[in-house]
Amino acid sequence: MNKRIKEILSRYKSKNLGTIKNLYNILMHGKLGGTGGPGFSQ
């Protein structure tokens, strides 16, 4: 997990663990997975 992903997830500390896990999965998926950018292409 890179610095950007950690930064994004740190904004959701008040959410439950399941929400954070799902957000992590979204951020790590797709062409830009792991970059902190949108993981979908048009």
What's the pLDDT tens digit per position in 18-27?
988 988 888 8
**Whole-number pLDDT of residue 32:** 66
**The pTM is what?**
0.65
**Which amino acid makes up residue 25?**
N
Distance in angstroms (rounded) separating the CA atoms of residues 42 and 36:
17
pLDDT tens, 1-41? Answer: 788 888 888 998 888 999 889 888 888 887 767 766 655 44
Residues 28/34, Cβ–Cβ less than 8 Å: yes
Does residue 41 fall inside a structural domain?
no
Residues 22/12, Cβ–Cβ less than 8 Å: no
Does residue 39 fall inside a structural domain?
no
Q: How many domains does the chain have?
A: 1
Q: What's the domain range around 6? A: 1-34
Residues 23/11, Cβ–Cβ less than 8 Å: no
Does residue 27 fall inside a structural domain?
yes
Which residue's entry shows tokens 């830009």? 32
Does residue 5 fall inside a structural domain?
yes
Does residue 20 fall inside a structural domain?
yes
